Amino acid sequence: MTTAMRPQHLQRPAYVSLRQSTPGQVHTHRESTERQYALAAQAIELGWDRSQVQILDQDLGKSGTTAEGRADFHRLMAAVGLGEVGAVFALEASRLSRSQADWHKLMDICALTDTLIVDQDGIYDPNAFNDRVLLGFKGTWSHTELHALR
Break the chain into its structural domains and give their ranges.
Answer: 7-149
Burial of 65 (0-12, 13-18, 19+ CB in 10 A): middle
In this predicted structure, what is the pLDDT of residue 96? 84
- Could you tell me how many residues make up the chain? 150
- The closest of 128, 127, 110, 112 to 14, measured between CA atoms, is 110
Give, in words, the CATH class of 7-149.
alpha beta
The active-site residue, picked from 21, 94, 99, 142, is 21
Asked which of 14-28, 69-83, 103-117 is least confident by mean pLDDT, the reply is 14-28
- The phi and psi torsions of 74 (rounded to 5 degrees) equal -65, -40
Calpha distance 147→127 (Å, rounded): 28
CA 97 centroid distance within chain: 8
Q: What is the mean pLDDT of the chain?
A: 83
In this predicted structure, what is the pLDDT of residue 4? 72
Q: Where are the beta strands (DSSP E) in the chain?
A: 14-17, 53-56, 87-89, 116-119, 122-124
CA 129 centroid distance within chain: 19
Q: What percent of the chain has pLDDT over 70?
A: 77
The DSSP secondary-structure symbol of 54 reads E
Cα distances (angstroms) measured from residue 88 to each of 29, 84, 122, 127, 150? 23, 11, 12, 14, 28
Calpha distance 111→105 (Å, rounded): 10
In this predicted structure, what is the pLDDT of residue 21? 59
In this predicted structure, what is the pLDDT of residue 30? 74
CB 17 within 8 A of CB 70: no
Is 21 catalytic? The answer is yes
pLDDT tens for 36-77 read 889 999 999 999 999 999 999 877 655 556 556 678 889 999
